Amino acid sequence: MPERRFEHVMELSGLDLSKPDDQTMHFLWQIVDEGVLGASKHVSLGNELLLHILETIADRTEALRRARLAAGFISRTRGQDTPVIGNSLSLLLADLDKIDPDRQAEALKQRIHEWTAAAGLRKQTLIASAVRHLSGARGVMAFDYSSTVAAIVLALAKTNADLVVVVPESRTIAGGARYLDEFLPAGLHVRYIPDAAIEHGLADCDVALFGVETLRADGSFLNTIGSRMIARLAAQQDVEVYGCTDLLKLDTRSYDGHRPAPAIRNYDHPLLDALKIDGIERADTRAPELEVIPANLVTMLLTEHGPVPPQAIWMLGRQTFKP
C-alpha cells in the first residue's frame, strides 16, 4: 500500500503546523495505509486518534483544529471508497461549531466515548443475530479479514465445536493470515488454503461470509477483489453467501446513482518485491482493490437489524437515514 500518511505531514506543514507526533503517525499508518485490516477497525482507530490528539495537545484550539484536519484527511483517503469511515467522522463533528468554542474539545471527546459504546452495542446485536441465523452451519469460508466476520465465526464456534473454518489466502492483501491470529488461539479447526483452491475449499462449507467495505442501496456491496469470484462459485455449489455489516456502511449517495468504479492500485509489493528479473519494473500490476458483489449473488446481509434480504436494503436504508 502507498505510504499516504506522509501526505498529512505535508498538509500540516503547509498550514505552518508542526508534524504529527509518532503516535499520530502510527494511527495513520494503521488506517490510511491499512497497516491493520477491516473498515470497522479503522473507524475505531480513527476515534482513538482523535482522542489522542485532543488529550495530548495542551492548547484546546490547536487540538481541535488538528483533530478536524486529521478527520478530513482520513475521510478523503481511506474513507473515499468506504463511506462508514467518513460517515462516522462527519457525524462526530456535525454541528460542533454551534457549541461554545471553549467546550467544543470536551464535547467532541464525549461524542467519541458515546459513539464507541453505541457501536459496540450494535456489533454485539449483529453477532448474536448472525449466530442464531447460522446455527446450522457445518463449515464456513471467511475470505479476507473483517473484524465483524471474525467475531461472528468465533461466536459461532462456541456453539459448534465441530465447525470447520476455511480461510483462503489472497496475495493481494494477505487478509487470511489476520484471521489465523484470532482463530488458532481460540482452538478453531481451520483450513488455510491458497486462493487458487477456493472451489475445492467451498466443498467443505455451506456458508461463505464476507466483510463489507461499502453497502449500496440495491443490496450489492464492495469487498476485496476475489470476493465476487467466490460468490459465483458458491452459488454453483449451493453455498449461501452473506455480507456482514453495520447498516452505517450504506452509501446513501447510491440512492441517487452514485456507484463509482472501484479505484485501481498497483500490486508491486506483493507480486514483484521478491522477484529478481531484469526489466521487472515494466510489469504492470495494476488492478482494482475492491469489487462489487451483486445483490443476485447474496443470500442475506447480516446486520444489527437482523438478516436482511438484499432487496430490502433500499427501504431499510430509507427508513434509517432518510426519514
At 9, which CATH number? 1.20.120
Indicate if 247 and 159 belong to the same structural domain: yes
Indicate if 90 and 160 belong to the same structural domain: no
Check residue 311 and give its pLDDT: 97
Query: In this structure, is residue 71 part of a structural domain?
Result: yes
Among 87, 121, 155, which residue terminates a domain? 121
Q: How far apart are CA 216 and CA 83, in angstroms?
A: 10
Q: How far apart are CA 111 and CA 98, in angstroms?
A: 14
Query: In this structure, is residue 194 part of a structural domain?
Result: yes
**For 6, how many CA atoms within 13 A lie in the half-sphere containing its CB?**
3
Query: In this structure, is residue 195 part of a structural domain?
Result: yes
pLDDT tens track, the chain, 323 positions:
568 999 999 999 999 999 999 999 999 999 999 888 777 789 999 999 999 999 999 999 999 999 999 999 999 888 876 778 887 888 888 889 999 988 999 999 999 999 888 888 999 999 999 999 999 999 999 999 998 999 999 999 999 999 999 999 976 667 788 999 999 999 999 999 999 999 999 999 999 999 998 999 999 999 999 999 999 999 999 999 999 999 988 988 899 998 888 888 888 888 888 889 999 999 999 999 899 999 999 999 999 999 999 999 999 999 887 64
Whole-structure pTM value = 0.78
Interacting residues of 299 by C-beta distance below 8 A, sequence separation 6+: 240, 241, 242
Task: Describe the strand order of the beta sheet including 240-244 as a list of residue ranges.
Answer: 189-194, 164-169, 139-142, 207-211, 240-244, 300-303, 306-308
Check residue 323 and give its pLDDT: 46
Check residue 2 and give its pLDDT: 64
Indicate if 158 and 75 belong to the same structural domain: no
CA angle 52, 8, 65 (to 5 degrees): 50
